Amino acid sequence: MAEEKKDVVKREADVPSRAERTSSRPTFLPAVDIYESEKDTVLVADMPGVDDKSVNIELEGGVLTVTGEVSDEKCEGHDLVYAEYRVGDYQRSFRLADTVDRDKIGASVKNGVLRIVLPKAEQALPKKIQVNAG
């Protein structure tokens, strides 16, 4: 089978059934990579157009919600003549496992990529248990 180039297409977020969108701008689900190791889980989200001031992370009831605001691309006097992507805000929610140490969650944004580190709580770390002869 011929190798196909992957087109980067933004997925539009589902609007929760109880709430309706009030603006005409779309909201997208950012693409997220999740890496899990022994000591932490790292989420890496692609959110082009977002910087540390326009991103918001909230944790409520075990659900981590990430939102990013993107300002319009259009400048004064410019017309959009060709578009392959639409510009809009980002939002995505994740249910956190109980093993996450909520107080030590850290996040940083660089070049439109948000990195969230979710360290695992002490008691969740694998421990070696001594076996005594007895």
Partner 1 sequence: MAIRDLIPWRRSSRELERPRYGDPFSRFQDEMNRLFDDFFQGVAPRRSDWTRELGQFEPSVNIHESEKEVRISAEIPGMDQKDIEVELTEGGLSIRGEKKLEHEEEKDGYRTVERSYGSFQRHIPLPPELDTEKANAEYKNGVLNVTVPKRPEAESKKKKIEVKSS
CB 105 within 8 A of CB 94: no
CB 110 within 8 A of CB 46: no
User: Would you call 3 helix, strand, or coil by DSSP?
Assistant: coil
Q: Which tokens hold the place of 66?
A: 């990430």
- 133 binding partner 1? (CB under 8 A): no
Q: Which tokens hold the place of 71?
A: 């300002």
Lay out the site mask for partner 1 across 95-114 (x = CB under 8 A, - = otherwise).
---------------xxxx-
Piece of 2-10, 59-67, 94-102, 122-130 that binds partner 1 (CB under 8 A): 2-10
Quick one: how far is CA 113 from the chain centroid?
9
Among the listed residues 20, 82, 126, 131, the single contact to partner 1 using CB under 8 A: 82
Nearest to partner 1 of 8, 125 (CB atom):
8
Piece of 16-24, 32-40, 58-66, 117-125 that binds partner 1 (CB under 8 A): 32-40
Contacts of 37 (CB under 8 A, 6+ apart): none
Binding footprint of partner 1 on the chain (CB under 8 A): 2-9, 31-37, 42, 44, 46-51, 73-75, 77-85, 87, 110-113
